[in-house]
Amino acid sequence: MLKTIFRKENLKTTCIEFIGSFLVAIGIYNFAVNAGFPMTGFSGIAIILNRMVHIPIGVATILLNIPVAIVCYKLLGKRFFLRSMWCMVLSSVMIDYVGPLLPTYNGSRLLAAICTGVISGYGYALIYMQNSSTGGADFITMAVKALYPHLPLGKIILVFDLLVIVIGSIVFKDVDGFIYGAIVSYLFAVVVDKVMYGVNAGKLALIVTSDGKKISRVIEETCQRGCTLLKAEGGYRQDKKDVVMCACNNKQMYEVQMAVKEADPEAFVIVLESNEVHGEGFKMLQFGEQSKG
């Protein structure tokens, strides 16, 4: 397993997993622990079972992980499973041995909740983007994502975490804990989605012009982005027009606008936000065996 992880072609992925695990450790140990936020995931469920039926927390965690790990192995494949086991060990080591080396935050619970959600969310997102996870409840969320790929990963995590927090708050009768836990979970979900799907976010330009071929050539020369030509007709004069459709990132869109303005001052440019763009020049995020990354 370690030989596969540290192969040259996987070295970049492993380094990103180290960074992600380090951020997870900071978010959890240095901000969340002292603030006493309710635990989510399998740890939170294990604590609830311990309170209700007196099952040892460690035993409960293992019992919860075994069936989920088996299902994950069958559904998401060997590579995802092995990398998840590696990240689970790595993040645990970071939390237990690296986190204590750094100062912990002992101030406002609200600020601690914000830092926990943002920092750990960014760390987990980096791990998820490598087609991996940290095991436990991540196996469930990734399995749901594989079965329903149209659902944003952050929203899946949010629903699961809030469910655990609600049950924990009822069992422990901790209303404040529920509020802070909900803040952490919401920020976590937002950051995960922004970081992961922000990779594919960009701009979409619709350029109405009388010379679509010229505009396409100018865009290609300016930022090496391909275009699609659509035939159109003016609504008032019924004159023939071309609509040039071009997807690119934010920086390139500015270059496109300047180039189009210079090439055809009369061109009509509409710029739209695009949440995701897939295809040449853009990376598509997938999970499990279907991933090529």
Residue recorded with tokens 């590579």: 79
Instruction: Report the candidate in 210, 138, 167, 175 with the shortest Cα–Cα distance to residue 51.
Output: 167
At residue 3, the pLDDT reads 55
**C-alpha span between 227 and 245 (Å, rounded):** 6
- 20 falls in which pLDDT band (50, 70, 90)? very high
Geometric angle at alpha carbon 48, from 75 and 187, rounded to 5°: 65
What's the rounded mean pLDDT across residues 142-171?
85
Give Cα separations from 109 to 102, 112, 162 (angstroms). Answer: 19, 5, 18
**What sign does the CA torsion over 31, 109, 57, 75 have?**
negative
Q: Quote the percentage of the chain above a pLDDT of 70.
A: 87
At residue 7, the pLDDT reads 60
Alpha helices in 54-174 (DSSP H): 57-76, 78-93, 109-128, 137-147, 153-172
**C-alpha span between 244 and 213 (Å, rounded):** 9
Read off φ and ψ for residue 135, nearest 5 degrees.
75, -165
What's the rounded mean pLDDT across residues 39-56?
77
At residue 67, the pLDDT reads 84
Residue 84 has pLDDT above 80, yes or no: yes
Which residues have a Cβ under 8 Å from the Cβ of 180 and sit 6 or more positions away?
35, 37, 38, 109, 110, 113
Q: What is the H or E stretch that residue 233 is in?
A: strand 228-233
3-18 pLDDT tens trace: 555 565 578 888 999 9
At residue 243, the pLDDT reads 95
Strand order in the sheet with 228-233: 228-233, 240-248, 202-209, 268-274
Q: What is the H or E stretch that residue 253 is in?
A: helix 250-263
At residue 279, the pLDDT reads 61
Domains and CATH numbers, the chain: 2-198 (no CATH), 202-274 (3.30.70.120)
Top-confidence residue, 256 or 70: 256
Q: What is the H or E stretch that residue 241 is in?
A: strand 240-248
228-276 pLDDT tens trace: 999 998 888 888 999 999 988 777 888 999 999 999 999 999 999 876 6
Residue 282 has pLDDT above 60, yes or no: no
Q: Tokens for 111?
A: 């600020």
Q: Identify the three-state secondary structure at position 228.
A: strand
Q: Identify the three-state secondary structure at position 13.
A: helix
158-212 pLDDT tens trace: 898 888 888 877 877 778 888 888 898 899 999 998 888 776 667 899 999 999 9
**C-alpha span between 68 and 160 (Å, rounded):** 15
Q: What is the H or E stretch that residue 240 is in?
A: strand 240-248
At residue 292, the pLDDT reads 41
Please answer whether residues 118 and 112 qualify as being in contact, where contact means their C-beta atoms are separated by less than 8 angstroms.
Answer: no
Residue 291 has pLDDT above 50, yes or no: no
Question: Per mean pLDDT, which of 34-38, 166-170, 276-280, 289-293 is the most reliable?
Answer: 166-170
What's the rounded mean pLDDT across residues 215-234?
90
At residue 16, the pLDDT reads 92
Dump the DSSP string for 167-215: HHHHHHT-HHHHHHHHHHHHHHHHHHHHHHHHTS-EEEEEEEES-HHHH
At residue 5, the pLDDT reads 52
